[in-house]
Amino acid sequence: MNKPIVISVDAMGGDNSPKKIIDGIELYQQKNINIFYKLFGDKNLIEKSLKNKKIDNQSYEIIHTDDYVKDEDSALAAAKRGKNTSMWLSIESVKNKTSDIVLSAGNTGALFVIAKLNLKMIENIDKPALSGLWPNKIGMNIVLDLGANIECNEKNLKDFCIMGAALHKSLYPNETSKVALLNIGSEEIKGNNVIKNTYQELSKFNSPLFEFKGYVEGNNIMCGDVNVIIADGFTGNIALKTAEGTANFITSELKKALTG
């Protein structure tokens, strides 16, 4: 058997932790073997959640700490809680190369700041981005940035294209990554200056990683013509949350109609 992938898990992150975190691991374990979990957090609570779970006790270790980042902490306040929070320790474990990946469902702002303090950026990439999967008619889009960077310049947007295409390629190795900039029109002349300049840059940029497909409008995000969609964090967040609100609205109206 190959060397297992080691995943650091901030077991205390987010609502209903560590229960939901352990539930998630149980679910994931059913289909994915050869993974070792380092669980950072309150040992008593984690052990309680692990009881009666179908999780092989050789597949994890618990690293106890009393401290954890709270959801309502500002990013700065979270960093100031020091180096013994479950979030800090789990990230540090990647830095120390004792694990390959870190997962946290906790405070996003804190995760960004503490990760940036501990782990270096990839060379030539200036800003981290939040990305997500967003369904389209034939598969999945990668969309970024979803809210980490309110204002972005041309270099940032170009970086996001490369980062997004790389993520897409690693998740869907058999698909062609088709990158587009989220904009308010499909013609070259539409949009603000940063978007127009980025379009020009990308038109000249020959990447072996992706095909540049120009602009995509909000109503075509889910068409499937492109699968990596790039925006600054403000625009991406507005789009994501508006889609979420619209889906919730339709679902609840539908339920109302069907139940009379």
- The smaller minimum CB distance to a copy of itself, of residues 14 and 224, is found at 224
CB of 9 vs a copy of itself, minimal distance in Å: 27
- The smaller minimum CB distance to a copy of itself, of residues 32 and 192, is found at 192
User: 211-220 burial, b for 16+ CB within 10 Å, e for fewer?
Assistant: ebbebbebeb
CB of 221 vs a copy of itself, minimal distance in Å: 5
Looking at the DSSP assignment, which residues form a beta bridge with residue 131? 144
- The smaller minimum CB distance to a copy of itself, of residues 96 and 248, is found at 248
- The smaller minimum CB distance to a copy of itself, of residues 44 and 242, is found at 242
CB of 201 vs a copy of itself, minimal distance in Å: 19
CB of 246 vs a copy of itself, minimal distance in Å: 4
Q: What does residue 213 show for φ and ψ, rounded to 5 degrees?
A: -110, 10
- The smaller minimum CB distance to a copy of itself, of residues 116 and 190, is found at 190
Determine the Cα–Cα distance for residues 123 and 2; give it in Å rounded to an integer: 29
- The smaller minimum CB distance to a copy of itself, of residues 207 and 220, is found at 220
Residues in the site for a copy of itself, rule: CB under 8 A?
Answer: 135-137, 147, 150-151, 182, 184, 191-192, 217-223, 231, 233-235, 237-252
CB of 179 vs a copy of itself, minimal distance in Å: 18
CB of 138 vs a copy of itself, minimal distance in Å: 12
